A and B are shown apart, each in its own frame.
Chain A
Amino acid sequence: DTEVTQTPKHLVMGMTNKKSLKCEQHMGHRAMYWYKQKAKKPPELMFVYSYEKLSINESVPSRFSPECPNSSLLNLHLHALQPEDSALYLCASSQDSRASRNSPLHFGNGTRLTVT
């Protein structure tokens, strides 16, 4: 069982919809991440939150909007997506993104997103 929980597992949305992906961890980690993974490709970093503040945005289009309400929760708000945004979206957490650089990332099982 993964210690990072993502909901929903699957999501189908139209290009005019607004939806949100949710991620939760209770390991006391202070860094949380969103990754996007296309089929047969490695995960690509989208955002990093460190101590609830956005520390890295990998030039992600504004139709993806992250939010970190507290140290245990991470959301990804989706609006006006394109079919090419269909992918597996992975959330991860680590103890501390800077001070414990050897701290591994713990991944959730992802949300399979399909944009129609």
Chain B
Amino acid sequence: AQSVTQPDIHITVSEGASLELRCNYSYGATPYLFWYVQSPGQGLQLLLKYFSGDTLVQGIKGFEAEFKRSQSSFNLRKPSVHWSDAAEYFCAVRNNFGNEKLTFGTGTRLTIIP
């Protein structure tokens, strides 16, 4: 079965600093990978997705993620964070055959300090 691990429960970053949120997946073949962001009391918004091709994908709000098959990772990065980036970030994986289930990681809460 597919699974996703986000090792960092909570990360604090200074405004303007760079950011990297970690995501590791467990799946036999190349999965479909997604990053979502959730602000308090809101639904989830898609930041970016990967399913094939260029392993560096660009998303909205200045985010990017790199798929590394050898490390089973799909880490999210941003060169310079803004206070509005404070939110919960979820990595998710979906298999490329079989059922439609999207499996989420446990999430990383991002706090931005001035």
Residues in A lying within 8 Å of B, measured CB to CB: 2, 4, 6, 31, 40-43, 45, 48, 50, 55-56, 90, 92, 94, 97-98, 101-102, 104-110, 112
User: Is B102 in the interface zone, CB < 8 Å from A?
Assistant: yes
Number of A-B residue pairs having CB atoms within 8 Å of each other in the complex? 62
Q: Is the interface of B mostly helix, strand, loop or mixed?
A: loop
Bound: A41/B108 CA distance, A: 10
Residues of B within 8 A of A (CB): 32, 34, 36, 41-46, 49, 51, 90, 94-97, 99-102, 104-107
The answer to whether B43 and A108 touch across the interface, beta carbons within 8 angstroms, is yes
Shortest CB distance A89–B (Å):
10
The 3 A-B pairs with the shortest beta carbon distances in the complex, nearest first, are: A97-B100, A42-B104, A107-B43
B51 & A107 in contact (Cβ 8 Å cutoff): no
B32 touches A101 (CB 8 A): yes
